């Protein structure tokens, strides 16, 4: 079988002839950026063939790459198949990069520290002929004496009983017992020699389809001790949710379970190394993931979610011991997974809701989580409506000529001088631009409307006599960065086709928000707060999101970015047992609306396929702004 060697790291994979370079890269452990799921549509899986034999259609490449790039061996990893031994260079931009992690999460300081696990240091009186209390009873009485739970409420697993007598005697009857609150009472998780009360840790995890993020916190004072992220190793079994469920159906469930646990463990290990923490001292792990990810992690068959009548096996919060599912923490540590509402509104969205606090307030809030798919939730402490749909990859940089994920070199903010049409931009990590990520694309469209370069349908006005406004090889385009400013040796542009794709993505999200408002008998004026969550939540310009009609128009001070709500929610549920306890109740209060069968959604979507909308009365401030721009332009 041929060997594929991937540069610059010289990772190798031996694969059957006919394997795509993408699959070989996965086999070699390289997480490639496959925005379109490997369908040859996004052009983001660029690799360079250095030598060897591969087979591909050159026309597929011409759509995305320049003649110079093709002469250097450029091809699409998802389209090219391996014929013989091959050496392939994978540029950094073709790999999924680690997420930026904000070390302390805004707002966490206000969450009271009320963990569900405690350590009790006890000095016990040794037994004697006058005091023949058994070891366990002696220990539990000692724990009660330290303000712990009463002995009859604490369950002690057999494995702890098996090592208890040695630990008590070796330590001279000075031990620390770890006790957790579990459904139905308390559980004795561990007994250590001496005083270990200063070392009690917990982990919060966001188990995403693409990436995993982990936080390790001290549960004695709530501090963040370390964070880490890595990609989800299940990518080797399928890029998206559907392909993973299909893999599970073909006897792949235990493999996916193992890969989910390994992905979490990779993050936990890097974080524990960085924080100097022994994984054995992590006694609680709280995990937020979508419904399929949660099923797979727990080894529960998700097959019935993709066939009529599309039901999950379980929606409620589940708990199990870390050792049972292979999580790298103390083997008795409790692992808690967030509950779900439906196949599409999973634990990650419940975590968003927890992070936003919308379920605790009287005012009506709208929460929107944006990725390739989007989820929206509308409601307050008494009721909530939710829906989900496909936004398409455009807002994450897919189906956009120079679109890219929010990785180093991505243009993340843009302004355009309306008089000179000169853009000023900033890139992630401040390096030369390589492309434009979601927040930059939203800025760009808003600025192009303000500068009257595009109209409300997204058409570029080619009558403008300016070098940045030009015809382009396929579509009219606007030059955001000249070749000499970029790190890719070509002009970075946004084309009319890109703008059309972005309008369709934003229309799906806005249409969904309006459908929820309709169902609740409300209008945008009734929304007290809008929360953004998801990949670009932290970096999104709220004003520009409203200007393009991504979300309903409300006063700007009512819009809040909550960033990665899934990891924030997991952190909250880790440090505060009362908030964790409320999760099942939140999930039960949410009604799911299926957009595909909701007749008004299509109308709402079509009306939203304009900038910002066909009905400008819904966007009064944007309307004023547009009129002012037009007046300025004469």
Distance CA 473, CA 184 (A): 67
Number of Cβ atoms within 10 Å of the Cβ of 224: 19
Residue 149: CB minimum distance to ligand FES, A: 54
Q: Are residues 477 and 470 in contact, defined by beta-carbon separation less than 8 angstroms? A: yes
Give 157's contacts (C-beta < 8 A, 6+ positions apart).
187, 188, 332
Residue 37: CB minimum distance to ligand FES, A: 7
Q: Which of 90, 108, 82 is nearest to 31 (CA)?
A: 90
Which C-beta is closer to ligand FES: that of 65 or that of 601?
65
Which C-beta is closer to ligand FES: that of 36 or that of 366?
36
Which C-beta is closer to ligand FES: that of 13 or that of 328?
13
Which C-beta is closer to ligand FES: that of 80 or that of 325?
80
Q: Which of 53, 6, 50, 54 is nearest to 30 (CA)?
A: 6
Q: Look at residue 230 and give its three-state secondary structure.
A: strand
Residue 3: CB minimum distance to ligand FES, A: 22
Tokens representing 307? 């066939």
Q: Are residues 578 and 360 in contact, defined by beta-carbon separation less than 8 angstroms? A: no
Tokens representing 269? 């290990």
Which C-beta is closer to ligand FES: that of 299 or that of 403?
403
Residue 54: CB minimum distance to ligand FES, A: 14
Q: Are residues 377 and 340 in contact, defined by beta-carbon separation less than 8 angstroms? A: no
Distance CA 530, CA 541 (A): 13
Pairing of strands 201-207, 282-289: parallel
Residue 171: CB minimum distance to ligand FES, A: 58
Residue 557: CB minimum distance to ligand FES, A: 39
Task: Name the DSSP class of 576.
Answer: B
Q: Are residues 109 and 217 in contact, defined by beta-carbon separation less than 8 angstroms? A: no
Which C-beta is closer to ligand FES: that of 76 or that of 293?
76
* Residues making contact with ligand FES (CB under 6 A): 34-36, 38, 40-45, 76, 78
Which C-beta is closer to ligand FES: that of 434 or that of 604?
434
Q: Are residues 408 and 33 in contact, defined by beta-carbon separation less than 8 angstroms? A: no
Give 424's contacts (C-beta < 8 A, 6+ positions apart).
414, 415, 416, 417
Residue 405: CB minimum distance to ligand FES, A: 12
Residue 515: CB minimum distance to ligand FES, A: 30
Residue 234: CB minimum distance to ligand FES, A: 17
Which C-beta is closer to ligand FES: that of 34 or that of 376?
34
Give 382's contacts (C-beta < 8 A, 6+ positions apart).
589
Residue 200: CB minimum distance to ligand FES, A: 44
Q: Are residues 564 and 206 in contact, defined by beta-carbon separation less than 8 angstroms? A: yes
Task: Name the DSSP class of 399.
Answer: T
Backbone angles phi, psi at 445, to 5 degrees: -65, -45
Which C-beta is closer to ligand FES: that of 36 or that of 90?
36
Which C-beta is closer to ligand FES: that of 38 or that of 612?
38
């Amino acid at each position: 079988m041929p060997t594929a060697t991937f540069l610059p790291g010289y990772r190798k994979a031996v694969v059957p002839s006919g394997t795509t370079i993408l699959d070989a890269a996965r086999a070699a452990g390289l997480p490639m950026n496959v925005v379109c799921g490997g369908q040859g549509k996004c052009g983001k899986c660029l690799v360079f063939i250095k030598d060897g034999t591969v087979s591909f259609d050159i026309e597929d490449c011409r759509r995305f790459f320049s003649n110079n790039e093709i002469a250097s061996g450029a091809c699409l990893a998802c389209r090219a198949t391996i014929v013989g031994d091959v050496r392939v260079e994978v540029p950094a931009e073709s790999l999924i990069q680690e997420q930026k992690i904000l070390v302390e999460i805004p707002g966490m300081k206000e969450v009271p520290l009320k963990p569900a696990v405690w350590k009790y240091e006890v000095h016990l009186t040794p037994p004697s002929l006058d005091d023949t209390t058994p070891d366990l009873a002696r220990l539990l009485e000692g724990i009660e004496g330290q303000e712990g739970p009463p002995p009859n409420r604490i369950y002690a697993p057999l494995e702890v009983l098996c090592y208890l007598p040695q630990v008590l005697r070796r330590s001279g009857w000075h031990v620390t017992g770890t006790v957790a609150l579990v459904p139905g009472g308390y559980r004795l998780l561990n007994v250590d020699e001496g005083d270990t009360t200063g070392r009690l840790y917990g982990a919060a995890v966001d188990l995403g389809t693409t990436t995993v993020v982990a936080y390790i916190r001290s549960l004695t004072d709530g501090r963040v001790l370390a964070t880490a992220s890595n990609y989800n190793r299940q990518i080797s079994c399928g890029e998206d949710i559907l392909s993973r469920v299909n893999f599970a159906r073909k006897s792949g469930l235990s493999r996916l379970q193992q890969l989910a646990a390994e992905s979490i463990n990779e993050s936990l290990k890097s974080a524990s190394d960085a924080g100097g923490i022994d994984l054995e001292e992590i006694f609680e792990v709280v995990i937020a993931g979508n419904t399929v990810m949660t099923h797979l992690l727990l080894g529960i068959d998700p097959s019935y979610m993709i066939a009529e009548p599309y039901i999950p096996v379980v929606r409620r919060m589940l708990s199990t011991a870390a050792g049972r599912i292979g999580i790298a923490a103390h083997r008795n540590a409790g692992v808690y997974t967030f509950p779900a509402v439906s196949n599409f509104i999973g634990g990650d969205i419940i975590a968003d809701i927890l992070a936003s606090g919308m379920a605790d307030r009287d005012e009506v809030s709208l929460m929107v989580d944006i990725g390739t798919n989007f989820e929206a939730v509308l409601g307050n402490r008494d009721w909530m409506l939710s829906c989900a749909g496909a936004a398409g990859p455009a807002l994450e940089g897919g189906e956009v000529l120079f679109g890219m994920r929010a990785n180093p070199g991505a243009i993340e903010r843009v302004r355009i001088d309306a008089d000179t049409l000169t853009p000023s931009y900033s890139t992630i990590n401040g390096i030369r631009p390589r492309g434009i990520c979601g927040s930059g694309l939203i800025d760009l469209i808003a600025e192009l409307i303000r500068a009257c370069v595009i109209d409300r349908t997204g058409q570029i006005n080619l009558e403008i006599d300016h070098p940045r406004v030009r015809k382009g090889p396929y579509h009219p385009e606007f030059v955001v960065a000249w070749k000499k400013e970029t790190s890719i040796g070509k002009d970075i542009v946004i084309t009319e086709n890109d703008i059309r794709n972005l309008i369709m993505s934003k229309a799906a999200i806005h249409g969904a928000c309006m459908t929820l408002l309709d169902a609740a008998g409300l209008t945008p004026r009734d929304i007290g707060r809008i929360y953004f969550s998801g990949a670009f939540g932290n970096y999104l310009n709220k004003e520009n999101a409203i200007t393009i009609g991504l979300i309903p128009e409300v006063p700007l001070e009512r819009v809040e970015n909550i960033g990665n709500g899934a990891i924030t929610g997991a952190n909250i549920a880790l440090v505060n047992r009362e908030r964790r306890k409320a999760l099942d109740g939140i999930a039960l209060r949410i009604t799911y609306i299926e957009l595909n069968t909701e007749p008004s959604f299509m109308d709402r979507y079509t009306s939203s396929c304009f900038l910002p909308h066909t009905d400008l009365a819904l966007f009064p401030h944007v309307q004023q702004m547009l009129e002012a721009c037009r007046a300025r332009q004469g």
